[in-house]
Structure 1
């Protein structure tokens, strides 16, 4: 039986507030797009150059269909996504249209920069069968052990639900981020010639050899 809300008798309905709170919470969780090195993101087989980058956006903009990526010569898409540090990937959302252009499978590869389609046809670190998700509500959970230290993520979408082209409106990434730490090279200077002051009780010749 459908449940309705009444706003009579001065009683407030908290449903709208709950929706706002949920959206705010999800927006905070799905903020890893801010940690993507956008200048170096690659989307292979995109119909319009640079359009692949535009699907990484704020959670609250996931239903904005003005920006999307569509495949070109066939239904495959491959994203190479570098990060500005290390992430622990905990969730992925893929939003497309409620039609056959929506991708039907997603394959994940960890730390494999500059992947090609030939390489993407190898064994993936994890695969998901996707459902049509025009509202961006379905979360797919990567294996935490596998995706706990990721500086580069590749997403391969090999098929859709039967269309010649694949279209994606939003890719959301949830997880934890840590800054990359670069260890400098320590330069050590080793003493080759003995120091006279260390041998005060010894006499040295003109090439600093002790005279015994």
Structure 2
């Protein structure tokens, strides 16, 4: 299989060295997040948020609580990828634009909301799991979008979760799932490292 999207995926590798002088515009950052939010979410909850850390002041606040990782201050932007605890009560509002666009009738919204309530309302662990799944889908989509545009990216889980939540004013129902640095690279980065053989991780049933 060969096409531009697959080529971008197969050539992606986590970036270590960024062009420290490079910047991304508000429009470029917004476009990345718009692409990221095209990723799937359960019941169309869209339970994610992205904090774009790109000013010198914000980077200086983030780096010490992110294990002093250089990417957090050297990349053009570092997203704090936030997952929101799954809340089935938001299903009608999340689906309203699809109804207004004529994609689905309003009459079937309860057919989405009621199963979502049955799934999430009394299961805090599942609410949290869904926050992490949703944020991860969005982050992965941004990673591959950035690669297709010629930019590097670095997903990171090495940070003080509680400190990031405090420093960047996350709500009680929000989880800082990962940091994701994005920006133009400088020379010296490794190519993608070999993966396990497909037959070691694939089972046909």
Report the TM-score range of the alignment, normalised by the length of the smaller protein. under 0.3
> Which of the two has greater helix per residue?
2
Higher relative contact order (CA 8 A, sep 6+): 2
Of Structure 1 and Structure 2, which has the larger fraction of its residues in strand?
1
Give the structure with higher Rg (CA).
1
